[in-house]
Amino acid sequence: MISYFFDITSKITKIPSVILLLAIGWLLNQIIGLSGFAIPDLNVILPILGTVGLILIVLEGSLELELNRSKKKLIGKTLLISTASVLIMTAAFAIWLNYEWGIDYREGIINAIPFCIISSSIAIPSAINLSSAKREFVIYESSLSDIVGVVFFNFATFGTAITLTGGFYFIGQFLLMIIISIIASLILAILLGKIDHHIKYGPIIISIILIYEISKIYHLPALIFILFFGLVLGNIDELRGVRFLKNVRFTRLNREVMLFKDVVIEATFVVRSLFFLVLGFVLETEDIINVESLRWSLSIVVLIFVVRFILLKIAKLDVQPLVFIAPRGLITILLFLAIVPADKVPFLNQSILIQIILMTTIIMMIGVILSDKKDEKAKAIESVEDVTV
């Protein structure tokens, strides 16, 4: 309920709910610590919430993507920017780690990717007051950044080394997963429209998680299925011409898809809220105010915004306020936690992770507030000029 209150008031306060949730979780920990109550170790909950949260975030992001001709230019531009951003920052980060610390390039790439992905769960709500064109850009760019980053992370962690042979093997597994995803997505989409029982969305979501976990067991890029399933449902009208779907009642299916999308959005909200509350609760104060890690955090944040500024300039887009909307959040934490101990770079610790999330989110908040004030001033000048005329 607290998270819901933060969400509905963020339009007025301009404060991202993630900062407030982390603060509430940390404050609860301090109060309970002073009261002497014994609380079980909540760190064990984070991976569970993280896995479910990752599935729901990618599913929600893919459901938002409309694949039609009217969106062709927007999709192309946002895909190019999000992909270039992830690749350039990852490469720069990995080269720096190798030069400064002698870290193997594969390990450097694995550790760099989580810090190079925009969090759609923070960026999209923060763009609510922007113009429709800019808001749409943020939705597509952040959603694609999540997806591109996760697929790249899957590839980087797929084998023992990033080689040409490993790349071809991953492509083979990738194509196999696409075939499985298309078949499974169409079956689940048809079931969504066919099931008459009053309980239908729960079994569909459980089936999605089951297919994801089975794919992970066989070392397949499991999130590809989530991506395809979301794209199929989000663009179900584009399949009206498919011959073997001629008996499907698309009007009813569209209605079910809209309801399913609402369920996914609300489930993502609940899981995201719990995740950040628990993370805030287990957060150590030393991680936030760690001076030793601050210079590394600042270096990474500077890299994030420099690369973003250059890419927006090349794409000939309005730099303000888009340059500020590059928060790191849930996806960054989930991928960071997914790195196996053997691949972890010791000094890239939880302190750096938390500091980067807080800094990028606060910079976004300040940038959006200043942009709103400029927009209001511009509108006021325009209205005065209209009256004068």
Whichever domain contains 180, its CATH number is 1.20.1530.20
Is 117 in contact with 147 (CB distance < 8 Å)?
no
Residue percentage of the chain with pLDDT more than 70: 88
Please tell me which of 119-133, 136-150, 170-184 the model is most confident about, judged by mean pLDDT.
Answer: 136-150
Is 132 in contact with 89 (CB distance < 8 Å)?
no
Res. 119: pLDDT tops 50 = yes
CA distance 222 to 205: 15
E strand or H helix at 376 = helix 350-388
Q: Give the pLDDT of residue 245.
A: 61
Task: State the pLDDT confidence band at 379, using cuts at 50, 70 and 90.
Answer: very low
Task: State the pLDDT confidence band at 117, using cuts at 50, 70 and 90.
Answer: very high
Q: Give the pLDDT of residue 86.
A: 93
CA distance 52 to 41: 20
CA distance 68 to 64: 12
Mean pLDDT for the chain?
82
Is 358 in contact with 19 (CB distance < 8 Å)?
yes
Res. 370: pLDDT tops 50 = yes
Average pLDDT over every residue of 90-106: 90
Res. 382: pLDDT tops 60 = no
Domain that holds residue 267: 2-388
Average pLDDT over every residue of 60-88: 85
Task: State the pLDDT confidence band at 356, using cuts at 50, 70 and 90.
Answer: very high
Q: Give the pLDDT of residue 308.
A: 94
Task: State the pLDDT confidence band at 164, using cuts at 50, 70 and 90.
Answer: low
Q: Give the pLDDT of residue 211.
A: 84
**Helix boundaries (H) for 118-162:** 120-126, 132-156
Q: Give the pLDDT of residue 30.
A: 86
Res. 219: pLDDT tops 60 = yes
Q: Which has more pLDDT, 166 or 331?
A: 331
Q: Where are the beta strands (DSSP E) in the chain?
A: none
Is 230 in contact with 61 (CB distance < 8 Å)?
yes
Q: CB count, 10 Å around CB of 92? A: 15
| Structural domains of the chain, count | 1
Task: State the pLDDT confidence band at 373, using cuts at 50, 70 and 90.
Answer: low
Res. 10: pLDDT tops 60 = yes
Is 332 in contact with 153 (CB distance < 8 Å)?
no
